Amino acid sequence: MVRFLPLAFLALTACGGTEPRYLIDSAPAETAQVQMQVATLEIREVSLPAYAEESQILIEGADGALTPLDNALWADEPRRAVTLRLAEAISRGGSATVAAEPWPLETPAQAAVHVQVSDMVARTSGQFDLKGQFAISSYDHVVRERIRRFDITVPMPDASPAGIARASGQALQNLAQEITQELRR
């Protein structure tokens, strides 16, 4: 079986597309960790608009139409990538143990963050917009439950796939900071 592995790999790579794939960039973490009100925090799967769940990288034109960039795909399924990047950023910026859904430990997390994105758009104007709301729920009422809106705009270095990936990473870092501050001790 092992001798057929290289042939199977070659067959799979020959069938795949040649479009470059881009990761949502991880923005640099804050230097000081925020002391949080909870010791454990679950990041529920992020809800994205249908267009943001596409594997193609989209940009909004002057007429408002979202069109795919030529030969540019996301390297991971966007909902999964956004959820994991957000969990990673909150974990780096705060004192809590943070994991994406499904919660991997036997003892439930003290709180959960539910994020619903209404807009996640790269604009030809050079801005990347991330809008929506997040809710903090607490199974044992360790923290006060609440819902907050967010409206984040970051400049894109350029309208290339790499520029959009960088800007989306920075927007998620900004959202992670807002959530971390909301749970600050």
Per DSSP, the residues of 80-119 read HHHHHHHHHHHHHHBSSEEEESSP-SSSPPSEEEEEEEEE
When divided into structural domains, the chain yields a total of: 1
- The CATH number of whichever domain residue 17 belongs to comes to 3.40.50.10610
- What is the rounded radius of gyration, in angstroms, for the C-alpha atoms of the chain? 18
* Residue 58 contacts residue 50 (beta carbons within 8 Å): no
Q: Is the pLDDT of residue 9 over 80?
A: no
pTM score above 0.95: no
- C-alpha to C-alpha distance for 70 and 160, rounded to whole angstroms: 10
Q: What is the pLDDT of residue 16?
A: 53
* Residue 161 contacts residue 22 (beta carbons within 8 Å): yes
Note the Cα 2 to chain centre separation in Å.
37
Range of the structural domain that residue 57 is part of: 2-182
- C-alpha to C-alpha distance for 119 and 128, rounded to whole angstroms: 10
Segments of the chain assigned E as strands: 21-22, 40-43, 56-60, 66-74, 97-100, 111-122, 127-137, 146-155
Instruction: Name residue 54's amino acid.
Output: E
Q: What is the pLDDT of residue 13?
A: 41
Q: Grade residue 26 by pLDDT with cuts at 50, 70 and 90.
A: confident
Would you call 46 helix, strand, or coil by DSSP? coil
- C-alpha to C-alpha distance for 124 and 128, rounded to whole angstroms: 9
Q: Is the pLDDT of residue 73 over 70?
A: yes
